[in-house]
Amino acid sequence: MPIPALPTIGRSLREGLASVTPTWLINLPGFRNLYSVAWTICLIGDCLREIAWEGQIATYPGACQPDALVLHGQSRGLLQGEAESNDHFGARLRAWRVTGNQQGKQAILAQQIQQYLGNNPLVRVIQRLPILSGPPVAMYVTANTDGTVSETIANWDWDSISGYTDDVTTYVGPVCRGFWADAWIVVYPGEWSIAGLITPLTGQRVPVVAHEAILNLVAQWKGEHIFVRAIMFSYNALLFDPTTPGHAGNPDGTWGYWHKIDNSGNVVAARNLTDVRYWIPAHG
């Protein structure tokens, strides 16, 4: 967006000098040097006024130059999306007074990730509910691709059988069911290829800048009480759907560890490695 024109608060100092100085005096021998010095002083004054005006405009996301948007984003904890226009990002920056007060809300976290990724994916935040008897359940908060947000409660059984270890303490499955602060983030469709040359640790062809951006958004916008067990990029739209929690490939209670022992005594992968890639935030 172009910078608005300097407001009409009077002519420039140079124009003002010329308007109050008679032509004959400007050209009078001996006075020409004096007028040149005065004109130069006015030029410096006009430059200072322009700098002050542009500096003031730079503080407004709706009017500043595009290169100032990144600074506004840093001050607000917002990232411009991979395919997001400057105008759209400017609108989000201006709306920050509303969204900035909603940090910790699952819907806002999902939308921040969605708005960053260039393929406008569906993003779902799944938070475990502390149900100690009966089927394990969770709250599914979904940022849909049409901009709406939906919430529902459905089955979610990550580790009621296998339990979980944080590399310090091991928790058995029944104890894990009471971990009400645990959450999982699902993004689909996955934006990056899972074939060919892939990035170590993620199993995707994901740029480092995008990897760091997603982790930073999660750290910035999740609730302080929330522990994100995994960020999952699904390449199967049927997975992790609250309407079909029993679909093959969904968590079955043994996903607390990467591996499990099958009926034949063999060590096998516990989680779905065919359709899903997992990012495990170091500190939740």
Question: pLDDT by residue (tens digit) across 174-212?
Answer: 999 999 999 999 999 888 887 665 666 677 888 888 888
CA atoms within 13 A on the CB side of 269: 9
Q: How far is CA 232 from the centre of its chain?
A: 16
Listing DSSP states for 241-284 in one string gives: -TT-TTSTTS--S-TTSSEEE-TTS-EEE-S--SSEEEE--TT-
Local structure of 124: helix, strand or coil: strand
Question: pLDDT by residue (tens digit) across 37-85?
Answer: 887 888 888 888 877 777 766 666 766 677 676 676 676 777 776 666 7
Q: What percent of the chain has pLDDT over 90?
A: 34
Report the distance separating Cα 186 and Cα 122, nearest Å.
8
Taking the complete model, does pTM exceed 0.95, yes or no?
no
Report the distance separating Cα 205 and Cα 207, nearest Å.
7
Q: How high is the pLDDT of residue 49?
A: 82
pLDDT level of residue 6 (50, 70, 90 thresholds) = very low
Do residues 87 and 96 lie in contact, with contact meaning Cβ atoms separated by under 8 Å?
no
The better pLDDT of the pair 103, 230 is held by 230
Those residues with Cβ within 8 angstroms of residue 50's Cβ, 6 or more apart along the chain or in another chain: 6
Those residues with Cβ within 8 angstroms of residue 206's Cβ, 6 or more apart along the chain or in another chain: 191, 192, 199
Residue 37 has what DSSP assignment?
Answer: H
Q: How high is the pLDDT of residue 282?
A: 84
Written as six digits, the tokens of 163 are 């339990």
Local structure of 57: helix, strand or coil: helix
Measuring CA to CA, which residue among 107, 90, 202, 88 is closest to residue 151? Answer: 107
